[in-house]
Amino acid sequence: MKVVVFTKQTFDTEAKITLDDQGKINPEGVSLIINPYDEFAVEEALRIKEKTKGEVTVVSMGGPKAQDVLRQALAMGADRAVLITPELEEMDEYTTATILARAVSRMEYDLILGGWRAIDDGSAQVAGRVAEILGLPVVNMVIKLEIDGGRALATREIEGGSEVVEVPLPAVITAQKGLNEPRYPTMKGIMQAKKKPMEKLALSDLGLTAEEVVPKVRALKYFLPSPRAQGKIVPGEPAEAAAALVRLLREEAKVI
């Protein structure tokens, strides 16, 4: 069984996000991690590999630093990695999905896994778009996955319960929290990762041009949540203070 996993490098969940003078998200000094939902996908791929004597290829698109997440996946046990560095100024989900779909179409695969969303932009579109381009079924937000011959049985959360769906392979499956508990890489795994193949591709290696992947959506503006305003203490005798508080809630905060 050959499994391809999409892994994105995202900001650390603890990172403090700031904007630069152009109003863009400032990547300086922010520590980067593997998108946690993609980590579930990597873990699931490794479990499938261990059961079926399969092979796991991890694919990431991003800058050269994205190698770090690929090395982590290799250290966890993936067999090979593909790093795509398109070097584009502007990208959207269409851009990403077009490039990833093209990259995967050059590979052999029975299953494509990814996180259901990235914790940074949170659009939850890429896996679905890739499935559409490749003409594959897609199951989102999966919390349990069983592979049986040429089919996948996937359990997904739905409002108020769970649903079990069956799809023929190859298929695209996206991971939700709860699918598994990702392993840590081991020291040995970290050493072995160095020796595993990492293919590096530019846009032109995939036969694509920048014009073909021009984004269809453009972010107009980023802004940070307004800082929490200072609390206010209403002084005075309890009865008076309560009356003053109600007045403030009604007139100033306009919440009652």
Query: Which residue ranges make up the site for other proteins (CB under 8 A)?
Result: 68, 71-72, 75, 184-188, 190-191, 193-194
Residues near 159 by beta carbon (within 8 Å), at least 6 away in sequence: none
Q: Contact, 174 vs 113, CB < 8 A? A: yes
Closest Cα to residue 98, out of 119, 65, 123, 125?
125
CB of 23 or CB of 178, closer to other proteins:
178
CB of 12 or CB of 146, closer to other proteins:
12
Which pairs from 64-69 meet CB under 8 Å and 24+ separation? 65/9, 65/32, 66/8, 66/9, 67/198, 68/9, 68/32, 69/7, 69/8, 69/9, 69/32, 69/33, 69/34, 69/35, 69/38
CB of 151 or CB of 194, closer to other proteins:
194
**CB of residue 15 to other proteins, shortest distance in Å:** 14
CB of 33 or CB of 142, closer to other proteins:
33
**CB of residue 184 to other proteins, shortest distance in Å:** 6
**CB of residue 33 to other proteins, shortest distance in Å:** 9
**CB of residue 67 to other proteins, shortest distance in Å:** 8
